Amino acid sequence: MEAELAMRRGYLSWDAGHVEEPLELFRLAGKLYERAGSPAGVAHAAASEAWAMLQLGHREEAARRAREVLGVPHADPAWPPALTARITLGVAIAHAEPDEAAEHLRHALALARDDGHLHNQAWCLNCRGVALRQMGRYEEALASHREAFALLDELFEEHWKIHFLNGYGETCRLAGLPEEALRLHRQALELAPRLGNRHEEALAHEGIATVLDGTDPAGAAEHRAAGQAVLQRLSPGSC
């Protein structure tokens, strides 16, 4: 019960735009599951921990943790920890091991489609877009993002969109579509405060600043400062 509560608190914290706090809660849940003798619970917590580490930029550690989860025996092909681990691993190693990354993401998307879970399909498609962007395959990345957002539009799912908009915007910028990138980052900037997601709000400011750097340095500096102010308020010990 304590472990499940820690996991739920981690997900709620993630939805609120925090990253470091969910990581600590997932680690706590893993210890509690281990103490309770629940290998499946430990794997579930470890998969979420790997995903949170990836969001913090700890790619190697995230990949290592995801591989550990994939090494856990399981009978269900749509086992949720394996899906999370494959998505995490696919993004984490996209630059260093593009072929293996593409295979993990292909497998994850196939599992999500077989399971009929549209939210997971959108998640897989968006993450595949991020991975393809890191491989420099921009047109394929854009197509994957667009497919993800078509599903989210069908689901009227703003709470999922906020986690995907800034990544889609970054792909557009690198693909030579600055106006589309600005539109997506500005959409994130409008949506994030409404949903209470300060982390994505800060990322939106930084995304806009990066697009504006070459054409509007003053506007870029204003957005960059605003994003840093949001992050400062999010940091531990801030008011």
Query: Of 137, 156, 175, which residue sits at a domain end?
Result: 156
Helix axes of 158-174 and 138-155: crossing angle, nearest 10 degrees: 160
Cα 92 to its chain centre, rounded Å, is 11
The CATH number assigned to the domain holding 217 equals 1.25.40.10
Q: Residue 183: helix, strand or coil by DSSP?
A: helix
Identify whether residues 145 and 170 lie together within a single domain.
no
Spell out the alpha helix ranges (H) of 16-134: 20-35, 39-55, 59-70, 80-92, 98-115, 118-134
Q: What is the pLDDT of residue 20?
A: 87
- The domain in which residue 164 lies consists of 157-234
Q: What is the pLDDT of residue 167?
A: 96
* Cα–Cα distance, 159 to 125 (Å, whole number): 16
How many CA atoms lie within 13 Å of 94's alpha carbon, on the beta-carbon side?
A: 22
For the chain, the domain total comes to 3
Which amino acid does the sequence have at 178?
P
- Is 0.75 topped by the overall pTM? yes
Identify whether residues 152 and 164 lie together within a single domain.
no
Residues 6+ apart with CB under 8 A from 208: 182, 185, 186, 189, 219, 220, 223
Q: What is the DSSP letter of 78?
A: T
Regions in the chain scoring below 50 on pLDDT: 237-239
